[in-house]
């Protein structure tokens, strides 16, 4: 690795850490500046003494700056506080739910990649034809459907009417099919659209013509020369979408009663368990920043020009 490479990575890490700090501060501010959470948590009937006790329990009676640094210290030592409703460490609870979410995201994302990329390549190599129009419209449709509604309709069809698959909960591979298909739809559409755009740009590069002029087979020109050059934005979106799915699939997890992070987030909100909400936001932000770093590393693996 060259010195310039190290410097570039260093600069990128610094930017990401700055982003993380801002994200953490926003999460903190959302909790502290938007009113007294004890009023929301305990309801309007609570006695002042009860609220005072809760404030003390949450550390809200401390000066704001002290609270902020305590919070940051907690984040960097992995201590995200305790849940108000479960009387447990938030970190433990998040880690308990993580495998379920990871399982769902891995299945959904694999499906999205396996369908989205060929669909996009098909559209790009047949640009302007009905294949292209069909694939592009299908992809746009995938981005226009409320996915959780699609999930509900899949449940009606495959679980209620046909009885082929279970409607919810987790457990076996059969339980995974419907949630994974539902989860795959949006990223699949996103990947397909991006692949089409990126591929159609790459296929116009002069080196494509020159490879064809050398008699290289069409398949090889499309994949080795075209796709490899079009791959970076696609990889980026795959990694970042993974982050979105990990924390953002609340509605899908809810439809299928999937015991993942999204359900935990929803429960924490319904019970006004503010420390837990905040912990999940922080966890998601850290994951996002890590995934951004992965994107950068991938970039330098794929493209020799940025090494």
Partner 1 sequence: MSELEIELAPHAGEPLKPAKDRRRRTSRTSVFWLGLPLGVITFLVFVLPLTGLLPDGGQDLTATRLPPAFLDGGTWAHPLGTNKLGQDGLTQLVESGRLTIMIGLVGALVAIGPGTLLGLLAGYCRGWVDKTISILIDAQLALPFILIALAIIANRGSSLPVLFLVLALTGWASCARVTRSATLSIRERQFVLGLRAAGASEARIVFRHVLPNLAGTVVALATLQVGTAILVESALSFLGLGVVPPHSSWGSMLAAGQDELSHSWWIAFFPGLAITVLVLLVNLIGDALLTHNDPRKRRR
Partner 2 sequence: MTELLTISGLSISARLADCDLRLLDDVDLAVRRGQIVGVVGESGSGKTTLARSVVGLLEKNVRVDGGSISLAGEQVVAPGVDLTAGVRGGQVGMVFQDASRSLNPLMKVRAHLAEVLHRHVPGIDKDEVRRRSVEVLEQMRITDTARVLDSYPHQLSGGLRQRVAIGLAVVTRPSLVIADECTTALDVTTQTKVVELFRTLVDELGIGLLFVTHDLMLASDLCDEIAVMSSGRVVEQGTALHVLESPEQDYTRRLLAAIPAWN
Complex with partner 2: residue 200 or 242, whichever CB lies closer: 200
Token representation of residue 240: 């970042």
**268 touches partner 1 by CB under 8 A:** yes
Asked if 160 touches partner 1 (CB under 8 A), the answer is: yes
Residue 206 beta carbon to partner 2: minimum distance, rounded to whole angstroms: 4
**What is the distance between the alpha carbons of residues 183 and 104, in angstroms, rounded to a whole number?**
8
Burial class (CB in 10 A: 0-12, 13-18, 19+), 152: middle
Q: Which stretch binds partner 1 (CB under 8 A): 42-50, 171-179, 275-283, 295-303?
A: 275-283
From partner 2, partner 1, none, interface partner of 140 (C-beta below 5 to 8 A by class): partner 1
225 to 284, contacts with partner 2 by CB under 8 A?
225, 228-229
Considering the rule CB under 8 A, would residue 7 count as an interface residue with partner 2?
no
- State yes or no: residue 72 binds partner 1 (CB under 8 A): no
Q: Is 203 in the site for partner 1 (CB under 8 A)?
A: no
Residue 139's binding partner among partner 2, partner 1, none (Cβ under 5 to 8 angstroms by kind) is: none
- HSE (CB half, 13 Å, CA atoms) of 103? 17
Query: Can you tell me the distance from the alpha carbon of 245 to that of 262, in angstroms, rounded to the nearest whole number?
Result: 9
Closest distance of CB 181 from partner 1, Å: 16
Number of helical (H) and strand (E) elements in the chain, helices listed first: 14, 0
What is the distance, to the nearest Å, from the Cα of residue 83 to the centroid of all Cα atoms in its chain?
23
Q: Answer yes or no: are the C-beta atoms of 277 and 261 closer than 8 Å.
A: no
Based on the shown chain and the rule CB under 8 A, indicate whether residue 163 belongs to the binding site for partner 2: no
Helix (H, G, I), strand (E, B) or coil at 71: helix
Establish if 15 lies at the interface with partner 1 (CB under 8 A).
Answer: yes
Q: Does 297 bind partner 1 (CB under 8 A)?
A: no
Which is nearest to 67 in space by CA: 36, 31, 104, 113?
Answer: 31
- Count Cβ atoms below 10 Å from residue 211 Cβ, excluding itself: 18
Among 62, 138, 158, 248, binds partner 1 (CB under 8 A): 248
Interacting partner of 267 out of partner 2, partner 1, none (Cβ under 5 to 8 A depending on kind): none
> Which window, 109-117, 206-214, 225-233, 285-293, contacts partner 1 (CB under 8 A)?
285-293
Q: How many Cβ atoms are within 10 Å of 199's Cβ, its own excluded?
A: 25
Residues 6+ positions from 65 with CB-CB distance below 8 Å: none
Instruction: Name the β-bridge partners of 82.
Output: 89
Q: Please state the length of the chain.
A: 307
Classified as helix, coil or strand, 82 is: strand
105 touching partner 2, by CB under 8 A: no
Q: Does 46 bind partner 1 (CB under 8 A)?
A: no
3-class state of residue 70 by DSSP: helix
Structure tokens at 264: 């935990």
Interaction site with partner 1 (CB under 8 A): 15-16, 18-20, 22-23, 26-27, 30-31, 34-35, 37, 40, 127-128, 140-141, 143-146, 148-150, 152-153, 155-156, 160, 167, 197, 204, 243-244, 247-248, 250-251, 254-255, 265-266, 268-270, 272, 274, 277-278, 280-281, 284-285, 288-289, 292
């Amino acid at each position: 690795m060259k010195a310039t490479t190290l410097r570039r990575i260093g600069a990128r890490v610094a930017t990401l850490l700055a982003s993380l700090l801002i994200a953490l501060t926003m999460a903190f501010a959302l909790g502290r500046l938007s009113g007294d959470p004890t009023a929301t948590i305990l309801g309007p009937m609570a006695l002042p003494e009860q609220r005072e006790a809760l404030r003390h329990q949450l550390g809200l009676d401390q000066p704001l700056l002290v609270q902020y640094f305590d919070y940051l210290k907690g984040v960097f030592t992995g201590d995200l506080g305790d849940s108000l409703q479960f009387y447990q460490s938030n970190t433990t609870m998040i880690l308990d739910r993580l495998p379920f979410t990871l399982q769902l995201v891995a299945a959904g994302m694999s499906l999205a990649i396996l369908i989205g990329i060929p669909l996009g390549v098909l559209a790009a190599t047949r640009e302007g034809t009905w294949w292209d129009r069909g694939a592009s419209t299908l992809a746009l449709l995938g981005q226009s459907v409320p996915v959780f509604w699609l999930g509900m309709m899949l449940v009606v069809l495959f679980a209620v009417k046909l009885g082929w698959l279970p409607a919810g909960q987790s457990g076996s591979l059969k339980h995974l099919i419907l949630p994974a298909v539902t989860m795959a739809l949006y990223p699949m559409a996103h990947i397909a659209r991006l692949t089409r755009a990126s591929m159609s740009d790459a296929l116009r590069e002069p080196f494509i013509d020159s490879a064809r002029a050398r008699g290289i087979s069409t398949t090889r020109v499309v994949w080795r020369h075209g796709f490899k050059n079009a791959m970076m934005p696609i990889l980026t979106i795959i990694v970042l979408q993974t982050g979105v799915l990990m924390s953002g699939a609340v509605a899908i997890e809810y439809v299928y009663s999937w015991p993942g992070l999204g359900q935990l987030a929803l429960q924490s909100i319904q019970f006004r368990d503010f420390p837990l909400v905040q912990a999940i936001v922080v966890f998601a932000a850290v994951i996002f920043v890590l995934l951004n770093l992965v994107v950068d590393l991938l970039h330098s693996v794929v493209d020799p020009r940025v090494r």
